[in-house]
Structure 1
Amino acid sequence: MLIISIASGLPDEAAVTERLLRNAPDMAAVFRRYYGGRVASEFNRLFTEHLVLAAQLVKAAKAGNSKAVAEAERKWYANADEIAAFLSRINPNWPKPVLQKMLHEHLRLTKAEAVQRLSQNYKADIATYDQIEKQALEMADAFTEGIVKQFPHKFKK
């Protein structure tokens, strides 16, 4: 939704941003249940940064500021690598190279969707959104599987 709001200059951008940023603490709450407060706080920080950088990238692209786009994209990928390293340290079932590949694919697709939206290629934008949704569900499955493998006693009946 935020890509659409930014690209179209909609008046709901602040409200949509506020809602999007709630995803980080919502996800951190899951981490808190298994890994404690310190890990949850770090995940919240990293994932909030991920979301903020994505918005900065789209805004820079809309403004036609290629230097700011390149800088935001560099920081975005560095953040993804930091997330992958962090998660691989807390769960051996999440190997860093696998996480990096998943996260980089997510970034690639999200950037493609933003470019398509900004260039008003709506059919491609929608098709890419469908790919993002599929890939997000695959990532969620991988994270769930890793938690279940690491904490099997919490999932036995």
Structure 2
Amino acid sequence: MYTYYPVYYYPVFRQEHSVHWTPTSVELNRKLRTLWEQHVFWTRLTVNSIVDGLGDVDQTAARLLRNPQDFAEVLAPIYGSGIANEFEKLLNEHLTIAAELVTALKAGNTSAAEDAQKRWYANADDIAQFFARINPYWSKEEWQRMMYEHLRLLSEEVATRLAKDYTTNVALSDSIEQQALEMADMMTTGIVQQFPMVFQA
């Protein structure tokens, strides 16, 4: 599998602040954890369907592409529809580029895979920049690090599926799920810190 890992140096990460957990903040965390788990779950199923040429690829991919819309529905009451729709677009790009990458790798099209992977990481940069712009408690560097780890793990998942290394492929799911939950928790913490009055009760 072609690998393209831009190298960034992270000298400082934003200081963590404690969050007072209330029923409303716990509910937000529950929603975001569910969405990130669905994100990696349906990504896995879509990858499997593309690689193995399964008949459910269109239906599975369509369900995966509902994930950005579901994120937008959670974010819209907090940030407004404009920002929510912007994130939906970025996350949709993240998923469609991933599908392009898997398809190119399966076909052995190295140049197309290289192009898709570069655009995948550029999209991750855009997501990190977007988060840093809308929330002062989210840093670009932290989100860049998280998104790059997300892409690295998904790349390994694709590579092992293509290689029919099913033992490693299945084992990767635990790390992918845990990392997704960490992103959900980071999102929750930043939102609660930014809008403490909304999450008092």
Partner of 2:133: 89
Secondary structure, counterpart of 1:92 in structure 2: coil
CA-based RMSD: 0.6
- Inter-partner Cα distance in structure 1 for 2:92 and 2:162: 23
Amino-acid identity (%): 50
Cα distance per residue 1:6-55 (max 9 Å; x no partner): 11100000000000000001001111111101101110110000000011
Partner of 1:20: 64
Pick the aligned partner of 1:34 from 53, 68, 78: 78
- Inter-partner Cα distance in structure 2 for 1:71 and 1:84: 20
Q: Which structure exhibits the higher relative contact order, with contacts defined as CA atoms closer than 8 Å and separated by 6 or more residues?
A: 2
Task: Give runs of aligned pairs for residues 2-81 of structure 1, distance below 5 A.
Answer: 2-81=46-125
Structure-1-length-normalised TM-score: 0.98
Instruction: Give, as a single letter, the amino acid of the residue that structure 2 aligns with 1:58.
Output: V
Unmatched segments (≥5 aa) in structure 1: none
- Inter-partner Cα distance in structure 1 for 2:173 and 2:96: 19
Pick the aligned partner of 1:110 from 137, 141, 154: 154
Structure 1 residue 130, shift from structure 2 partner: 1.4
Task: Give runs of aligned pairs for residues 125-144 of structure 1, distance below 5 A.
Answer: 125-144=169-188
Structure with more of its chain in helix, by fraction: 1
- Inter-partner Cα distance in structure 1 for 2:52 and 2:200: 48
Structure 1 residue 101, shift from structure 2 partner: 0.3
- Inter-partner Cα distance in structure 2 for 1:31 and 1:104: 22
Displacement over 2 Å in runs of 4+: none
Structure 1 residue 128, shift from structure 2 partner: 1.3
Structure-2-length-normalised TM-score: 0.77
Unmatched segments (≥5 aa) in structure 2: 1-44
